[in-house]
Structure 1
Amino acid sequence: MANMDISLKEMMAVDGAIGAAVVDYGSGMALGTIGGSKDLDLQVAAAANTEVVKAKLRAMDALQLQDTIEDILITLGGQYHIIRPLAGRGGKGLFVYLALDRSRANLAMARHQLRTIEDKLEV
């Protein structure tokens, strides 16, 4: 098991990582962040992506889908944003967020690495 600081550092070690956060989607608050830039305010991203998660959960409820979200992928012209709700014990109501530079990232590897990091994360 890895604590949040270790997990955030591991997320930043993913090729192309720009910034990462662990977010409480009940409040929209980032519990921990690392990285970011003048163009990527992780506190704003945490709050905004909380709305993305809530919207998807509402859509799944309206469609009566009996399933869980594995991850949500947002592709921009120059970036990938991966939102992954935590499924493990103690992770209910939290998600990890990873922003990647699209020109330097391998999306399949990043998703795989994020899944591995999530499995070890202890909140």
Structure 2
Amino acid sequence: MEITGAVGVAIVDYDSGMMLGSSGGGPQLDLEVAAAGNTEVVRAKMATMRQLGLDDTIEDILITLGTQYHLIRLVTSNKGTGLFFYLALSKSQSNLAMARRQLAAIEAELTL
């Protein structure tokens, strides 16, 4: 499945910060660095939820930049516990709502 406007995508283990697979990226987007950095974002949000006593799960986290969207989607099924997708999108070439739906569909088809 192709996501229109995607600059790069990775699947990441948030316990270790290791990128397990990726597509795209390049000199303008180092997916290894993005995977490690966004692992810290996920960990911080999970810690904050625990401190607030929120008994809920994170579906996704959106970071909006001037020219890009960065979408972090936690894999919520048992087959992917501890994993998240990191997707960077060009704002001018993508549809955020459609990208979120497509990423959810990819998660549903995920086999590990």
TM-score bracket for the superposition, by shorter chain length? over 0.9
**Kindly, what percent of the aligned residue pairs are identical?**
60
Query: Matched residues in 2 for 1:58 and 1:14: separation?
Result: 31
Deviation at 1:122, TM superposition (A): 1.0
Distance 1:103 1:97 in 2: 19
Shift of 1:39: 1.5
CA shift for structure 1 position 101: 0.5
**TM, length-normalised to structure 1:** 0.89
TM-score, normalization by structure 2: 0.97
Counterpart secondary structure, 1:22 = strand
Segments of 4+ moved more than 2 angstroms: none
Q: Which residue of 2 aligns with 1:109?
A: 98
Residue 95 (structure 2) pairs with residue 98 (structure 1): no
- Return the alpha-carbon distance in structure 2 between the equivalents of residues 104 and 56 of structure 1: 28
Question: What residue in structure 1 maps to residue 44 of structure 2?
Answer: 55
Determine the structure 2 residue equivalent to 1:4: none
CA RMSD of aligned residues (A): 0.7
Deviation at 1:46, TM superposition (A): 0.3
What is aligned with 1:25?
14
Using the alignment, how far apart are the partners of 1:32 and 1:14 within structure 2?
A: 16
Alpha-carbon offset, residue 37 of structure 1: 2.1
Q: Name stretches of at least 5 consecutive residues in structure 1 with no aligned partner.
A: 1-9
State how far apart, in whole Å, the 1-side matches of 2:29 and 2:38 are: 13
Aligned length: 112
